[in-house]
Amino acid sequence: MPRHATHATGQAPQKVKPRDPVATGDRDAAVNRAAGHHYFLLERFEAGVALRGTEVKSVRNGQANLKDAYGIIQGGEAYLLNAHIGPYSHGNSANHESLRTRKLLLHREELRKLPGKTQQKGLTLIPTRLYFRRGRVKCELAVAKGKQDWDKRATERQREDEREARAAVARGRRR
């Protein structure tokens, strides 16, 4: 008597696990939202960040904070200071320090130009976001000039005017 097949002989369909949007570069790992409020962001640069393995895993988990971070040029090299990258949860005794100074990797031409720009009165280097590009952690740096209180109020007023104008146009379309 032949056996009856009770189930299909084909392989069960594999479940495709969606990739992490931070790791693929679809979403930023960390954003310094206060930078646009406190500074005029004049010129932007993309820099690589020299990180340890546990730091990369922590950035991928979203444990990076750029709120008080800034960049400096010293001895012909760029460094990122006060960028907080939390300790990796599965790390061991060789886990990284969360506030250590990290080296920024820039092209030689950019490194040559930046000291002249940042030595002008009132200009500084501010990291605006951390993100992944082709599996590497990148940092977007901006040459920034500090805003006064009246500048911040003017910017807020301008945003409010634009918001009201968009709302008025939308109301006009609905009628």
Greater pLDDT, 126 or 28 = 126
Pick 21-147's CATH classification: 2.60.120.10, 3.30.565.10, 2.40.280.10, 3.40.50.620: 2.40.280.10
pTM of the complete model: 0.73
pLDDT tier for residue 9 given thresholds of 50, 70 and 90: low
Q: What is the pLDDT of residue 27?
A: 78
pLDDT higher than threshold 70 for residue 82 = yes
pLDDT, averaged across the chain: 85
pLDDT of residue 163: 94
Q: Round the CA-based radius of gyration of the chain to a whole number and report it.
A: 24
The answer to whether the CB of 81 falls within 8 A of the CB of 88 is no
> Across residues 59-84, what is the average pLDDT?
89
Domain boundaries, the chain: 21-147
User: Are the C-beta atoms of 144 and 89 separated by less than 8 Å?
Assistant: no
pLDDT in tens, 93-127: 777 778 889 999 999 998 888 888 887 888 889 99
